[in-house]
């Protein structure tokens, strides 16, 4: 009888023990979920990101913008950001291929350096956020009417548009007796067409109305078109045009022997073939774009309402070597471009 009672007591104790273990496991599971939630929150604050960069072509201005972008975002995110950097070698079709690859890889953000990469990225996705830089006019590039400062779609960025009215004033200041002014640019770049139109309007305010466009389709006919422009014009304006910037030496080899000065749209171009420019800092432009990328990636900023930003300052600069060779005296207020 005693053995039977003892067996019942032991069985009851074991049952209670099992219940206690079960209760302990339930509590443990609940704690694990809470810990997991906390870990998930911490992981969210330390997420890593992949950013695809498509640069149209290699030249100093675009290179500086890409470097500024990478430096900015790296300073903010450290090793939590990885860049997939691609160069399209000046080919629009390659821009499209690169953009589609970024979409297939599901990158977190696309940085489009220049107009053709921006247009390719816009055609490739309406979901992945896109930030442009070195883009002159977003309304023209994206065919947006009633421009308000923001695109209203998954695109924003920074513009390299220097004040064209001030560039026209510079041309008039340095060459007040110019007869015909030529505007030389690539017809395949919409933003160059925009700048040409705006420059023509701006020059008219100074009484300069004899203005003619000289356009080339690609690098193959730059020399011949430039030769015609140099033969007909007293001074030439070259806007922020990527094809021209990549072939500045070709342009200089025509215009310098002909004694025809060039007002350039940006510093890199001026360094290659211009006598003066009203320049922006492309590194700073890219740096500002990196800050915008951080706001989108980390702080959840709504890119559809983010206004396009512009260069914080412009500087009057001159090419001392070319000015000396052409016998041009530069007034005070200009800085010599570092060689």
328 Cβ contact partners less than 8 Å away, ≥ 6 residues apart: 174, 261, 275, 322
Q: What is the pLDDT of residue 46?
A: 73
Percent of the chain at pLDDT > 70 equals: 87
Task: Look at residues 224, 243, 213 and name the one whose alpha carbon lies nearest to residue 56.
Answer: 243
Alpha-carbon distance 249 to 157, whole Å? Answer: 30
326 Cβ contact partners less than 8 Å away, ≥ 6 residues apart: 256, 259, 261, 275
138 token code pair: 């977003």
The residue-averaged pLDDT of 15-22 equals 38
Alpha-carbon distance 19 to 2, whole Å? Answer: 26
- State pLDDT tens for residues 255-282: 999 999 999 999 989 999 999 999 889 9
> Which of helix, strand or coil describes residue 5?
helix
Query: pTM of the prediction?
Result: 0.73
- Is 101 or 27 the better-scoring residue by pLDDT? 101
pLDDT category at 312 given cuts 50, 70, 90 is: confident
| Residue carrying structure tokens 């730059």 | 222
Q: What is the pLDDT of residue 24?
A: 36
- 234 dihedral zone (left: phi>0; alpha: psi -120 to 50; beta): alpha
Length of the chain: 339
Q: What is the pLDDT of residue 45?
A: 53
Task: Look at residues 209, 223, 262, 220 and name the one whose alpha carbon lies nearest to residue 239.
Answer: 262
Q: Do 132 and 155 contact (CB within 8 A), yes or no?
A: yes
CA angle 292/298/302 to nearest 5° reads: 60
Listed ranges 78-82, 144-148, 187-191; the one with the highest mean pLDDT: 78-82
pLDDT category at 25 given cuts 50, 70, 90 is: very low
Alpha-carbon distance 132 to 110, whole Å? Answer: 8
- State pLDDT tens for residues 102-121: 999 999 999 999 999 999 99
CA-CA-CA-CA torsion for 176, 320, 255, 89, nearest 10 degrees? Answer: -120
Q: What is the pLDDT of residue 150?
A: 97
pLDDT category at 338 given cuts 50, 70, 90 is: confident
Give, to the nearest 10 degrees, the angle between helix 115-124 and helix 92-104.
40
Least confident piece of the model among 30-34, 47-51, 58-62, 152-156: 30-34
- State pLDDT tens for residues 164-213: 999 999 999 999 999 999 999 999 888 899 999 999 999 999 999 999 99
What is the DSSP pairing of strand 335-336 with strand 315-318? parallel
Q: Do 151 and 118 contact (CB within 8 A), yes or no?
A: no
Please determine, for residue 14, whether its predicted confidence score (pLDDT) is greater than 80: no
- State pLDDT tens for residues 57-75: 998 899 999 999 999 999 9
Mean pLDDT for the chain? 88
What is the DSSP pairing of strand 109-113 with strand 130-135? parallel
Strand positions, DSSP E, 154-275: 155-159, 181-186, 211-216, 235-238, 262-264
């Amino acid at each position: 009888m005693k053995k039977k009672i003892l067996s019942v007591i032991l069985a009851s104790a074991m049952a209670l023990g099992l219940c206690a273990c079960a209760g302990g496991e339930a509590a443990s599971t609940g704690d694990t979920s809470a810990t997991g939630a906390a870990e998930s929150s911490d992981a969210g604050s330390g997420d890593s990101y992949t950013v695809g960069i498509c640069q149209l072509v290699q030249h100093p201005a675009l290179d500086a913008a890409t470097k500024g972008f990478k430096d900015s975002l790296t300073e903010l995110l450290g090793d939590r950001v990885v860049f997939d950097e691609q160069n399209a070698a000046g080919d629009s079709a390659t821009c499209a291929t690169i953009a589609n690859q970024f979409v297939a890889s599901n990158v977190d953000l696309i940085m489009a350096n220049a107009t053709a990469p921006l247009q390719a990225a816009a055609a490739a996705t309406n979901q992945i956020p896109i930030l442009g830089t070195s883009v002159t006019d977003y309304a023209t590039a994206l065919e947006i009417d009633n421009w308000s400062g923001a695109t209203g779609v998954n695109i924003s960025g920074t513009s390299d548009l220097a004040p064209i009215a001030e560039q026209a004033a510079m041309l008039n200041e340095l060459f007040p007796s110019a007869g015909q002014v030529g505007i030389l640019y690539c017809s395949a770049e919409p933003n160059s067409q925009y700048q040409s139109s705006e420059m023509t309007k701006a020059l008219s305010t100074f009484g300069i109305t004899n203005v003619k466009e000289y356009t080339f389709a690609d690098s193959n006919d730059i020399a011949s078109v430039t030769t015609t422009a140099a033969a007909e014009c007293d001074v030439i304006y070259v806007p922020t045009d990527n094809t021209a910037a990549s072939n500045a030496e070709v342009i200089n080899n025509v215009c310098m022997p002909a004694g025809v000065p060039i007002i350039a749209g940006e510093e890199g171009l001026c360094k290659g073939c211009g006598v003066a420019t009203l320049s922006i800092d492309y590194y700073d432009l890219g740096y500002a774009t990196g800050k915008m990328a951080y706001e989108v990636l980390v702080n959840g900023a709504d890119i559809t309402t983010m206004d396009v930003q512009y260069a914080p300052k412009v500087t009057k600069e001159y090419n001392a070597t070319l000015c000396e060779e052409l016998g041009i005296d530069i007034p005070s207020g200009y800085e010599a471009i570092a060689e």
